[in-house]
């Protein structure tokens, strides 16, 4: 399936504007930047996901399948055919497994140019290995593809979020997934203690705050 590439400057400018205005109430009814389909480890078909996103009334979203942009291509094709300005804004997205310090972390990529060779090593359906999997290289390659890099769910790892975010900042990361529901509460809502901690760190390092449900099941309003 052929698809025209994103326009990184336009996408990134708007994406930065949206991120700068996100707050604790933005997700899951207005914006959602972390969702999975059955093109990786989710249950929803790509078209079922966008139909549900439209029904919810999302203003903007990104699909962040692990090491795959197949769902993005399907949904982007669908949205282009609709030619409806009232549909949600849709950005390219990808979740990449990387090595940081001595642990495995997930780095989210957004607004990158589809087809850019910098991200090819991360689109093989599974994690990369060797130097290409180091967090610094992942962030660099996301930037080379015209995108923005975000550390996913920083309090889920078996390591100090303070150190992880500081190290990511040193490596040039753009943002952190600040509004995240640890423990899969119902209804979905960002975990207050973790959110407060991460917001203090993003303010300290001048990083964007992002949000997402990290949906893997049949509802975009829950993680599982």
pLDDT at 215: 98
HSE on the CB side for 166, CA within 13 Å?
Answer: 6
Domains and CATH numbers, the chain: 8-211 (3.20.20.140)
Does the pLDDT value for residue 154 go beyond 80?
Answer: yes
Does the pLDDT value for residue 22 go beyond 50?
Answer: yes
Does the pLDDT value for residue 11 go beyond 90?
Answer: no
- % of the chain with per-residue pLDDT over 70: 96
pLDDT at 76: 96
pLDDT at 3: 38
pLDDT at 180: 98
Q: Which two tokens stand for residue 27?
A: 């997700």
pLDDT at 1: 32
Entry field: residues in the chain? 224
Does the pLDDT value for residue 85 go beyond 90?
Answer: no
For residue 170, give every residue at least 6 positions away whose Cβ sits within 8 Å of its Cβ, in sequence order, or none: none
pLDDT at 83: 83
pLDDT at 40: 98
Cα distances from 224 to residues 15, 47, 73, 182, 199, in angstroms, run: 26, 19, 24, 12, 25
pLDDT at 9: 56
pTM over 0.75: yes
Does the pLDDT value for residue 224 go beyond 70?
Answer: yes
Residue 7's pLDDT band (cuts 50, 70, 90): very low
Rounded average pLDDT over 205-219? 98
Question: Would you say 32 and 211 are in contact if contact means Cβ atoms under 8 Å apart?
Answer: yes
Query: 101-146, pLDDT tens digit by residue?
Result: 999 999 999 999 999 999 999 999 999 999 999 999 999 999 999 9
Does the pLDDT value for residue 5 go beyond 90?
Answer: no
pLDDT at 4: 42
- Looking at every residue in the chain, the average pLDDT score rounds to 95
Range from 22-31, 75-84, 165-174 carrying the lowest mean pLDDT: 75-84
The two beta strands, 175-179 and 93-100, are unpaired
For residue 214, give every residue at least 6 positions away whose Cβ sits within 8 Å of its Cβ, in sequence order, or none: 34, 35, 36, 152, 153, 180, 181, 223
- φ, ψ at 177 (rounded to 5°): -75, 90
């Amino acid at each position: 399936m052929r698809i025209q590439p994103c326009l990184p400057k336009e996408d990134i400018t708007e994406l930065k504007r949206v991120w700068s205005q996100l707050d604790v109430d933005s997700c899951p009814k207005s914006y959602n930047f972390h969702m999975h389909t059955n093109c990786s480890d989710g249950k929803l078909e790509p078209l079922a996901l966008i139909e549900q996103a439209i029904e919810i009334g999302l203003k903007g979203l990104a699909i962040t399948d692990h090491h795959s942009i197949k769902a993005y291509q399907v949904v982007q094709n669908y949205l282009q055919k609709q030619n409806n300005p009232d549909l949600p804004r849709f950005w390219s997205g990808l979740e990449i497994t990387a090595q940081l310090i001595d642990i495995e972390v997930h780095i989210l990529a957004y607004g990158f140019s589809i087809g850019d060779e910098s991200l090819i090593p991360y689109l093989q359906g599974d994690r990369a290995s060797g130097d290409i999997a180091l967090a610094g290289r992942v962030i660099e390659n996301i930037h080379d593809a015209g995108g923005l890099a975000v550390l996913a769910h920083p309090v889920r790892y078996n390591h100090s979020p303070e150190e992880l975010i500081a190290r990511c900042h040193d490596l040039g990361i753009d943002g952190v997934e600040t509004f995240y529901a640890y423990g899969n509460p119902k209804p979905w809502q960002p975990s207050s203690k973790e959110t407060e901690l991460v917001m203090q760190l993003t303010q300290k390092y001048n990083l964007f705050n992002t949000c997402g449900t990290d949906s893997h099941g049949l509802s975009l309003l829950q993680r599982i």
